[in-house]
Structures are given as structure tokens and as C-alpha cells.
Structure 1
Amino acid sequence: MTRPARIDVHQHVVPPFWAEALSANGGDPSGWHSPKWSPESAIEFMDSQQIATGVLSLTAPSVVGWKPDERRDMAHRVNDYTAALVARNPDRFGNFATLPLPDIDGALAEIEYAFDKLDADGVVLLSNYQGKYLGDILFEPIWAELDRRGAVVFIHPGKPAIPTIDGIPGPITDYPFDTTRTAVQLVLNGVMDRYSRVKVILSHAGGFLPYASHRFAELAPAVRSDVPDTETLLATFRRFYFDTALSSPSGLPSLQAFAGVGQILYGSDYPYAPASVGASFNAKLDAYEGFNATDHAAVNQGNAMRLFERLNSSL
């Protein structure tokens, strides 16, 4: 069955100057490799998988490894590069802007530049920066500014501050874990309530948040006096959006039961998930019988169209 053209909220940009400089600036501590990528190869993959638009983001470790005085410049260059791709192909690409965190002042300046000068579609945040998770008080100014703008925020996992397991790179097991950590902290520390105008997308079906949400919501009030009751916590957890990147058929029923179809967005994780892997997961998603035709259309495109007003005019 032919599905509506997809909007991919989890697709990565690999600027050549960033990839070339990465090894000299800490490399990728997760143990993953930087894949070959070009705008042309991205469009070729998109055409093969009925993807109309890929909203591009820089993956972990982003620009964290650069020296503080060089981090702002690299984030700026990445955003300019990605914005130029969007300008040339406004119907094929979008831009989640990179911020030079944990530099708060630099990040605030880049938010202003990205939205006011580059017309970015949102921002990408890592799940943690040097061991500080996004619900930490350090990031309050960032959330306040993003809330003021009603921004879309894509949270991509980073390596947690623990060693990887020998032979198992971080993206295989550690990334879903780190997404879950930051999401739970965002809710328990009240960030999602204080900054409710921000629309937050969690990668990879939210890690194991949908599967273990009741565990978190039941236990937290038992050990903390500063959190809401269980039902309120569950309702707040359900306000996240969740992308389908690398989501297994066995995980989709839990995601659907927890979040509802309206909070689920299509994602591929290209090119860090190779084209063959992306195609495999797309086939599983298309074959998922828990979604009817209307649900498939919403996940593939309709839900994202509500988040990204620009795409309503360019598609």
C-alpha cells in the first residue's frame, strides 16, 4: 500500500567541515562512526523511502568537544550550512539549529540568530551536556527563551557519563537510556509544566519512557514531596512527541497505547542508521496493523504538519 509522503523529524546533517574537525575535538565518545553523507545522497534515500522532507539536525556529540572559544563558531557554521541547504531545497529539508551548549550565553545568542535570521524550524538539544541533564537548573534560561518563542525542540540522545560496554557502541543501548533519563528529569523537575509552550520531540520512541511510564509516575511521588500525583505525571509524560526512528514492531504497541497516535512522528535516523536499516524499519512501520490508514497518514505526515507551519506552504 502506498503511504503518504513522510516528514522525517529525525534525519541528520553531516557538514564536511564538522566531520573533518571532529576527531581533533574529542571525537565521538559513543564509539559510533561518522557515515558518508551528502545532500544528494540524503535526497536519494528520501526518494527511495517516500520521504518528502527531512528536518536536519547535527547528531551527538554535536559541538561539545570544541574549546569554549571555538564552540560558538562551529555551531554558527553548522547552522549557516544547514540553512543554506533549506534555502536551496525548502520542500526537501528543514533545520533544527545547533546550540553551543553548555555555553548558556552563546546558546541564547544562537537561538536569536537561528530563529530571527535563519528561520530555523526548531532547535536540537542533546539529552545531556557534560553530565548535566536538560532538567537541570543550568538550562532554565534556554527553556525560558524557547518557551517565549513557542519553539519545537528535538532532543537527541548523547553518551551518558558512563563507560560504553566493550563491543557495544553507545547508540545501540546507551542512547535510549539517556533519552529516558532526561525526559523523566524534565517532568519531575517541572520544566515541562513551567515551559508548556515548547513542543518537545523525543528520539527513538522516547527510549523506554512509554514502556516504563507507570513505574516512574508511581514511584516518584513516593520518594519526592515536590512532584505532582501519579495521574498528573502521566499526563505530562504524554505531552512529549515521539519519533519512530529505529522503533521495533514490538515497541510500537506500547508507544501507541501510551502516547496516542497524535503524538507520534516519523523518523529515520539517516545516515547514522544506514539506508538499508532505515528501509527495513520503514517496512515494519508500514506493515504495523495497529495503525489504520488514517493513523499511518498522521504519523507519516499529518502530525508533523501541525508542528511545522512552514511546511504547510512548501509541500
Structure 2
Amino acid sequence: MNAGRVDVHHHAILPAIAQLMREHGATFTLPWSLPQTWQVLADNRIDVALVSNPIPAGLFDSVEVAARFNRAANEAVAELVAAHPGRFGLLAALPMPYVDAALDEVAYAFDTLRADGVVLIAHAGDSYLGAPIYDPLLAELNRRRAVVLVHPMTLPGGPVDGVPPVLADFLLDTTRAAISLIWTGALDRYPDISFVLAHGGGFLPYAASRVAALGEAFYDVPAAQVRSALGRFHYDLALTAPSGLPSLLAAVGPDRILYGTDWSAAPEPVVAAGGRAIDRQLAALDPAARAAIERDNALRLFPRLRLTR
């Protein structure tokens, strides 16, 4: 494999998925085309993109509909991966919060579609990922030593006037999911899951000192446990540089950081600007650290990618 980047936070709303969304009442779909995606990959020196399409739990009114939608969406992405081996991977979506259906989709995604991992939304309803309802799902993902991208949605209760969810709520949603995994002990019970927190971990790296100090003072969660947990997550850089990367490097160091773009949720100029900011900030690191962030950390998480280039 050459020195190109591995993008671990990449969306592809294929035509079949866009049609599914329209059929289920989605008010919009992300603009996407394969030719434009090839251009984004080339312009940003990306060799491989792990495609994840997190699906809002509130889009469906029954477990059967949720299961069919997630299955069809995953199969559409698997077709893209099969058509372009070595350029794309699949992080399969699961029908949250329906744990039995999610377990069925885990088996199908890994055993039939050969998924590289899964994407989990940070919460469904009022239940974040550390909630007991998700223990059977996390146990199975732990058994499979799965990579799990934790992706945010609008907060429980919905948006408030004057605060666009993508500017604040999404970051807090990821932060809440991470704290839930720490506070409930799920991170310790399922040590073989590799959790990747989207968008640099939300607010977590910036607030790490506060979480550690007040967790111990108010909730009897040892500060050392919080600090250890911070170093067990992985963090993607989608929409994080330049402002968030210094906090992330201070909190965890380069061995836990992964390159990501958020294409096609983020428009092409935003992806390009983020890539330039990452280049400027990584220039201060040694070559091994830069290579780790841009590709080597991802190749350790997704060893299949080494074999398909």
C-alpha cells in the first residue's frame, strides 16, 4: 500500500439508499455521486474510505421496517465495496434500539457481507450505548473483536431554536455516549471492542480534565479510570482540525487518532480545508506520528485493507 490516507469517517448515500430514505419520509438526502467521490479521494490523498451510513432510530415505526432498511442500506454499500476492492470498506449500520434485530444484522454483516466493522448511533430514544439494554449487542461485538464507529445524532428531546444541531448537539451526543460507556463500566466489560469516537470525540478531549476531576469528586469514578478510558478510545479527525486537534493530541496522543473527512455529509470545500489544516498541524510531528494518524493506526484496526491493495 502506498502512502495515501485511510478515511474512517466517510458516507455514501448511494442511489438505492436515497430512494429508501425518500420512501420512508426523509425530508432530504445528502448529495452524492461516485465521480465526485473519486475526485474527493484524489484531492485529499485518500487511498481507502470506510463507508458508514448511520441511520436515525426515529425514522421507523417498527422493528421490521428498521431491520429491512438497515439490511438494504448495508447491501447497497457492500455492492460498492465489491465493485471497487481496495478502495472502500463497510462499517455496517444496525437497527437501533432493536437489539435482537441488531444482533441478526451483526451476523449478516460480518459473515455474509464481510463488513470491516459497524457504525452505532450514540443513542436511541433516551438510552446511550452504556445502557443495560445494549449489553447483549456489545457482548457479541466484543466476541467478534469488532471496530465500532460511534456516530452522533440530534440529542434526545430534539433541537432547540437558534442552535443548529450539527454545530453543538452532535458533539455533545458523542461525548455523552463516551461518558456512558465509561460510567456504566461497559468499556471495561467489553475490552475487545475498538470504539472510534466521531469528530474527535466531540467535547470529550477538551473537557477531559473536568470529567476526570469531577467524576472522582462527585460520582466516585476514579480520575485514573477516566484517564485510562480516554486512552482506550480511538478518535477520528472529521471536522476537527484546526481548533480541536491540539486538545486531542494533548489528551491522547497520535497513536489513538485516525484520519476522517465526513464526506459526503461535509461538502467538498470543507473536506479540503480540513485536510489542509491537518497537514499544517501534523507538520510539527515526526514522520512516524504523521503516518500513524493518516493511515497506520487505521491499518492496524482494519488489517483487511493491507491485503486488498
Amino acid at match of 2:261: S
Q: 2:204 aligns with which of 200, 204, 209?
A: 209
SS at 1:211's partner residue? coil
1:10 and 2:13 aligned: no
Partner residue in 1 for 2:266: 273
| Count of aligned pairs | 307
The one-character-per-residue Cα deviations of 1:99-136 (angstroms, maximum 9, x if unpaired) are 11111110001101111111100000001112211011
The 3-state SS of whatever aligns with 1:299 is helix
Q: Give the superposition deviation at 1:282.
A: 0.2
Question: SS where residue 150 of structure 1 aligns?
Answer: coil
Asked if 1 retains the 8 angstrom alpha-carbon contact of 2:54 and 2:120, the reply is no
How far the C-alpha of 1:23 sits from its partner, in A, is 5.0
Q: Per-residue displacement from partner, 1:37-78 (whole Å, max 9, x unpaired)? A: 123322221112111011000134267435322111111111
Change (3 A) 1:26 1:139: farther
CA distance in 2: counterparts of 1:260 and 1:177, whole angstroms: 22
Counterpart contact for 1:8–1:55, Cα < 8 Å: yes
- The yes-or-no answer on 1:55 pairing with 2:47 is no
Residue 78 of structure 1 aligns with which residue?
73
Superposition TM-score, scaled by structure 1 size: 0.92
Distance in 2 (alpha carbons) for counterparts of 1:11 and 1:62: 20
C-alpha separation between the residues in 1 aligned to 2:307 and 2:268? 28
Please report the TM-score for the alignment, with normalisation by the length of structure 2. Answer: 0.94
Task: Tell which deviates more after alignment, 16-25 or 178-187.
Answer: 16-25
Q: Are 1:57 and 1:97, in contact at CA under 8 Å, matched by a contact in 2?
A: yes
Instruction: Provide the C-alpha distance between the structure 2 equivalents of 1:62 and 1:93, rounded to a whole number of angstroms.
Output: 25
2:248 aligned residue: 255
State the AA in 2 paired with 1:276: P
CA distance in 1, matches of 2:61, 2:112: 24
Deviation, structure 1 residue 216: 1.1
Match of 1:87?
A: 82
Indicate conservation of the 8 Å contact 1:63/1:75, yes or no: no
- 1:305 aligned to 2:299? yes
Any gaps of 5 or more consecutive residues in structure 1?
none
RMSD, aligned CA: 1.8
- The code of the aligned residue for 2:15 comes to P
**Aligned partners of 2:40 and 2:268 also within 8 Å:** yes
In 2, Cα distance between equivalents of 1:296 and 1:76: 36
Listed one character per residue, the Cα deviations across residues 261-288 of structure 1 (whole Å, up to 9, x for unaligned) are 0000000000110011000000000011
Cross-structure match for 2:113: 118
**How far apart, CA to CA, are the structure 2 residues paired with 1:81 and 1:24?**
16
Aligned-partner residue type, residue 250 of structure 2: A
**How far is 1:254 from its partner?**
1.1
Q: What is the SS of the residue equivalent to 1:80?
A: helix
